[in-house]
Amino acid sequence: MATKFAFVSIIGQTNVGKSSIINRLVGEKVSIVSPKVQTTRSRVRGILTENDTQLVLVDTPGIFKPQRRLDRAMIDCAWTELNDADMQLMVADAHKGITQEDIRILKKINQPVIFVLNKVDLVKKDIIAKQLSELNQFPNISAVFCISAQTGENTKELKDYLLTHAPTGNWLFSDQELTDLPDKLFCAEITREKLFLYLRQELPYQLTVEPISFKEQKESIRIEQNIIVSREAHKSIILGKNGQMIKKIGQTARVEMSKQLGKKVNLFLFVKVRENWGEDIHQYQPWGLNFNA
């Protein structure tokens, strides 16, 4: 039987719900989610296989004004994935409206793009209609979907469209795989998600999680990770009074890892100070980032 296959790159500003859309379409959590902006730092691929069609949904870092070398690499990753994909999907936040930055991104895309207006459950229908009218000036938009990744509204219609329009091609993954992100890196992302959850507004952007070891045993998995910060003061915040903050982060991350991996997880977290970690070329190369940008 002939099969269909497509890489679907998902691009947009930070915090518009790209990761939530991929998780919803795949049906499982494959990309971390946080209310804070710039949660996704690297390329994450979710794999959706249904009947004769396989889609690789590529979650990319949000588009924002770069400051560090890491920031520039993140944005370069997003545009590279978009240009290399078979299908392009741009996401905007209905709650914020079509912004000037959304328009700038749309103008920069020089191929047909599927436009997705997310979070429509938070906005009245007449406002959504007004936002959609602003899209008439863009001839490169091939289709428009108004969805809510949170509630699932119209996400099936989006999924069906992507499956129907995928070109003929051979699958790259088995029908049992949900992501190509190794468990070792995925668990590092889970810990970073919990750091975003529990720490104050700015600190999550000043740290990263470095996977050290991932050892599978008969009935459990032993995981060691470094939480890298740039200042001693940040280390104290993460540890918390009498180590209570790092304990809370570790417990929550461990429960999530055990759920995702289907095994008991023994998690060991170490907080290290490393100045200018955002300029480190080697740290992020395994995540698909290009520091030649």
Query: Is the model's pLDDT at 120 over the cut of 70?
Result: yes
Average pLDDT value for residue range 1-28: 89
The third-level CATH classification (topology) of the domain covering 183-287 is: GMP Synthetase; Chain A, domain 3 (3.30.300)
Q: Residue 159, Cβ neighbours under 10 Å: how many?
A: 21
Average pLDDT value for residue range 234-257: 92
The whole-number pLDDT of residue 39 equals 45
Average pLDDT of the residues of the chain: 83
Cβ-contact 190, 260 below 8 angstroms: yes
Give the integer Cα–Cα distance in Å for 278 and 228: 10
Length of the chain: 293
105-108 LR contacts (CB < 8 Å, sep 24+):
105/11, 105/12, 105/13, 105/63, 106/138, 106/140, 106/141, 107/138
For residue 10, give the H/E element and its range: strand 4-12
Alpha helix ranges (H) inside the chain: 18-26, 69-84, 100-108, 125-133, 155-165, 183-198, 232-239, 244-261, 281-284
Query: 31-70: per-residue pLDDT in tens?
Result: 756 454 444 445 678 899 999 999 998 877 655 454 555 5
The whole-number pLDDT of residue 287 equals 42
Using DSSP's 3-state secondary structure scheme, residue 143 falls into strand
Q: Which range is least confidently modeled, 32-41, 142-151, 177-186, 262-271?
A: 32-41
Give the integer Cα–Cα distance in Å for 5 and 167: 6
Task: Identify which has the larger pLDDT, 63 or 14.
Answer: 14
Query: Is the model's pLDDT at 291 over the cut of 50?
Result: no
The whole-number pLDDT of residue 77 equals 58
Boundaries of CATH 3.40.50.300 in the chain? 4-165
Cβ-contact 178, 17 below 8 angstroms: no
Query: Is the model's pLDDT at 191 over the cut of 80?
Result: yes
Task: Identify which has the larger pLDDT, 61 or 93.
Answer: 93
The whole-number pLDDT of residue 205 equals 66
Boundaries of CATH 3.30.300.20 in the chain? 183-287
Rounded percentage of the chain residues whose pLDDT exceeds 70: 81
Query: Is the model's pLDDT at 26 over the cut of 80?
Result: yes
Q: Which range is least confidently modeled, 45-49, 144-148, 189-193, 283-287?
A: 283-287
> pLDDT grade, residue 282 (50/70/90)?
low
The whole-number pLDDT of residue 272 equals 92
Give the contacts of 277 (CB within 8 A, at least 6 positions apart). Answer: 208, 228, 229, 230, 283
Two tokens, residue 99: 């912004």
Using DSSP's 3-state secondary structure scheme, residue 25 falls into helix
Q: Residue 1, Cβ neighbours under 10 Å: how many?
A: 4
May I ask the CATH architecture of the domain 4-165? Answer: 3-Layer(aba) Sandwich (3.40)
Query: Is the model's pLDDT at 285 over the cut of 60?
Result: no
Cβ-contact 37, 15 below 8 angstroms: yes
